[in-house]
Amino acid sequence: MQKILVANRGEIALRVMRTAREMGIETVAVFSEADREMPFVRYADEAYCIGPAPSAQSYLLGDKIIEVALACAADAIHPGYGFLSENAAFSQAVTDAGLTFIGPSAYSINMMGDKISAKQAAKKFDVPMVPGTDSPIHDPAEAHQIALATGFPLLIKAAAGGGGKGMRLVNTEAELEEQLRMAKSEALSAFGNDAVFIEKFVGSPKHIEIQVLGDKHGNYVYLFERECSIQRRHQKLIEEAPSSCLTPDIRKAMGECAVAVCRACNYEGAGTIEFLVDHDLNFYFLEMNTRLQVEHCVTEMITGKDLVREQINVARGERLSFSQEDLEIRGHAIELRVCAEDPLNNFMPDTGTLQVYQPPKGPGVRVDDGYEEGQAIPIFYDPMIAKLIAYAETREAAIERLCRAIDEYKLEGFANTLAFGKWAVQAEPFRKGQFDTRFIELHYKPEYLVQDDAATAKIAALLAAEVWTTDTKAEPLKPSGTLTTRSRWRQRQH
Ligand code: MV4
């Protein structure tokens, strides 16, 4: 493999190209008209514009991307995450064009993309699942039958859904038929497939996922877990590895189940098995993500492995470069997604320009970003502009390091999640490891983030008063109350 085309943009395109370059492989960027000036375009050895800004006219044009790959004599395509990464038809088309798809086969993507066939496959390997059905519900009578066994509340989920899409909570028997009808019609219009299934509702679960890798020779490994419970509207904001709640025994059991799911679909490449974990540490298979994920970096930090390197190696037919026994967890990593979203306003996406942009540096800090100072964030794509990862020997030290890095991060021009991240990792439930997917809903209030501003305003007022009293030789004012919060503004005075 001598040349890889990266069918993606932003930080993940750069991330993939960096490893390719280390491996002596040339890189090709494809970009939309909005991304011409982006770092990933300049980093690549070659770059081709594939269309206007909207994804549907650029990054989602599989045939056009394959055409570019063939024209520039690339051997392989890496899809990154999002866009075409979990598109079975694209995986197949890349292969049919005589290129290597750096990811799983269309067969694996299809089997795991349908949540019902995924559950059926996992069931054969005795992977624990939430009580409910693993075949489509056809009529209300069948739904009532299942509900007798699961009880209420229950969830109706679309087979073609996933990641929180196409789920309905049913609280009582009386709502069941109406909700089933609506779930099916919604699934049909959203996914073109009206198949739905039922699961008992697990209240306040933790979301823990297992990273896996497989090669073409039937070798599989798990690279331990990521704790991904700190999320909002199914968008993760903070991820860490390892989880502070798992025991070695449960970790091993979950890892072995994850490998079983890989075997069940003949998986190749990097993948993630999602589990729900309840408060008694029972775990249940939810679904499999058949791509490299945003949060793969925390796994890289604690295992010392380069997941993109392994993806490339297995795609070109090599065996995994290590076995399960070679793997151990070393240290602790926490990732904050730096997004152009306003935590003071329901995490609404914001747009703007990176007027000031200086990412933090120093020991144990990794920043995977896709923009440079002066660039505007296009409205067409994901609001995530960077990932800030702190790595240290212990969880406590990783939290301290993440806070230090957030303090150093100079980012101006739009609302972002940096201050939220600092609040979150210092919040008592987070520090104690006592949190689940309801953390933000239960513990976060926007007021918690405006304290720094309030302290700054108070200092500014006192200083103005000081200048005024000096200038006018008036009687000095005494500050009322005390300044307890540390302000960045005050730090800069020393
Ligand atoms: C559930 C659940 C409770 N019980 N299934 C949401 C995303 C999709 N992957 C599955 N999801 C859930 N499935 C049962 N039977 C709760 C969720 C859920 C959730 C899961 C993971 C991370 C965040 C979540 C937020 C709300 C609901």
Per-residue pLDDT, 473: 81
**196 CA to middle of ligand 1, Å?**
15
Evaluate whether 3-102 and 206-448 have a shared fold. Answer: no
How many distinct helices (H) and strands (E) make up the chain? 17, 20
Tell me the average pLDDT across 330-341.
Answer: 98
Per-residue tokens: 39: 């770092």
User: How far apart (Å, rounded) are the C-alpha atoms in residues 291 and 85?
Assistant: 6
Tell me the average pLDDT across 443-467.
Answer: 85
Q: What angle do CA 468, 470, 472 make, to 5 degrees?
A: 65
Least confident interval from 134-143, 293-302, 466-475: 466-475
Sign, Cα dihedral of 389, 394, 399, 404: negative
Q: What's the CATH fold of domain 3-102?
A: Rossmann fold (3.40.50)
Categorize the per-residue pLDDT at 103 as very low, low, confident or very high, splitting at 50, 70 and 90.
Answer: very high
Tell me the average pLDDT across 265-279.
Answer: 98
Cis ω on the peptide bond leading into residue 153 (within 30° of 0)? yes
* Amino acid present at 427: A
The DSSP-derived string for 208-261 is EEEEEEE-TTS-EEEEEEEEEEEEETTEEEEEEES-SS--HHHHHHHHHHHHHH
User: How far apart (Å, rounded) are the C-alpha atoms in residues 80 and 292?
Assistant: 7
Domain ranges of the chain: 3-102, 131-200, 206-448
| Res 493 pLDDT > 50 | no
Whether the Cβ atoms of residue 101 and residue 111 lie closer than 8 Å to each other: no
Tell me the average pLDDT across 64-88.
Answer: 98
| Res 494 pLDDT > 50 | no
Give the pLDDT confidence of 405-437 residue by residue, as tens digits: 999 999 999 999 999 999 999 999 999 999 999
Among 9, 226, 291, 366, the one annotated catalytic: 291
Other CB atoms within a 10 A radius of the CB of residue 348 amount to: 12
Which of ligand 1's atoms lies nearest the C-alpha of 154? Answer: 15
Tell me the average pLDDT across 192-217.
Answer: 97
Categorize the per-residue pLDDT at 298 as very low, low, confident or very high, splitting at 50, 70 and 90.
Answer: very high
Whether the Cβ atoms of residue 68 and residue 46 lie closer than 8 Å to each other: no
Mean pLDDT for the chain overall: 95
User: Token match 């890889």: residue?
Assistant: 4
Model pTM greater than 0.85?
Answer: yes
Q: Is 279 helix (H, G, I), strand (E, B) or coil?
A: coil
Give the pLDDT confidence of 143-191 residue by residue, as tens digits: 999 999 999 999 999 999 987 788 999 999 999 999 999 999 999 999 9
| Res 491 pLDDT > 80 | no
Cis ω on the peptide bond leading into residue 39 (within 30° of 0)? no
Pocket test for ligand 1, best of 437, 439, 440 (most atoms within 8 A of CB): 437
**472 CA to middle of ligand 1, Å?**
64
**481 CA to middle of ligand 1, Å?**
46
**18: phi > 0 → left, psi -120 to 50 → alpha, else beta; which?**
alpha
C-alpha closest to that of 164 among 47, 276, 325, 15: 276
Residues with CB under 6 A from ligand 1: 130, 155, 162-164, 199-202, 205, 207, 231, 234, 274, 276, 286-287, 437
| Res 79 pLDDT > 90 | yes
Per-residue tokens: 203: 């209240």
| Res 309 pLDDT > 90 | yes
CA 141 to chain CA mean position, Å: 38
User: How far apart (Å, rounded) are the C-alpha atoms in residues 55 and 60?
Assistant: 6
Whether the Cβ atoms of residue 241 and residue 226 lie closer than 8 Å to each other: yes
Least confident interval from 164-168, 240-244, 246-250, 387-391: 164-168
CATH of 131-200 among 3.10.20.90, 1.20.140.10, 3.40.50.12280, 3.30.1490.20: 3.30.1490.20
Whether the Cβ atoms of residue 421 and residue 440 lie closer than 8 Å to each other: no
User: How far apart (Å, rounded) are the C-alpha atoms in residues 397 and 11?
Assistant: 26
Whether the Cβ atoms of residue 457 and residue 492 lie closer than 8 Å to each other: no
- Superfamily of domain 206-448 in CATH is ATP-grasp fold, B domain (3.30.470.20)
Residue bearing the CA closest to ligand 1, atom 6: 164
**414 CA to middle of ligand 1, Å?**
31
Give the pLDDT confidence of 341-397 residue by residue, as tens digits: 999 999 999 999 999 999 999 999 999 999 999 999 999 999 999 999 999 999 999
| Res 84 pLDDT > 60 | yes
Categorize the per-residue pLDDT at 323 as very low, low, confident or very high, splitting at 50, 70 and 90.
Answer: very high
Residue bearing the CA closest to ligand 1, atom 15: 201
C-alpha closest to that of 289 among 306, 275, 299, 307: 275
Which residues are 100's β-sheet partners?
76
Other CB atoms within a 10 A radius of the CB of residue 276 amount to: 20
- 190, exposed or middle or buried, with CB in 10 Å at 0-12, 13-18, 19+? middle
Per-residue pLDDT, 364: 98
Other CB atoms within a 10 A radius of the CB of residue 426 amount to: 14
C-alpha closest to that of 151 among 172, 128, 167, 133: 172
Whether the Cβ atoms of residue 228 and residue 234 lie closer than 8 Å to each other: no
| Res 458 pLDDT > 90 | no
Per-residue pLDDT, 63: 98
Residue bearing the CA closest to ligand 1, atom 7: 164
User: How far apart (Å, rounded) are the C-alpha atoms in residues 394 and 405?
Assistant: 16
User: How far apart (Å, rounded) are the C-alpha atoms in residues 381 and 378?
Assistant: 7
Terminal-to-terminal C-alpha distance of the chain: 54
| Res 492 pLDDT > 70 | no
C-alpha closest to that of 215 among 291, 113, 90, 312: 312
Q: Does 263 qualify as catalytic in the annotation?
A: no
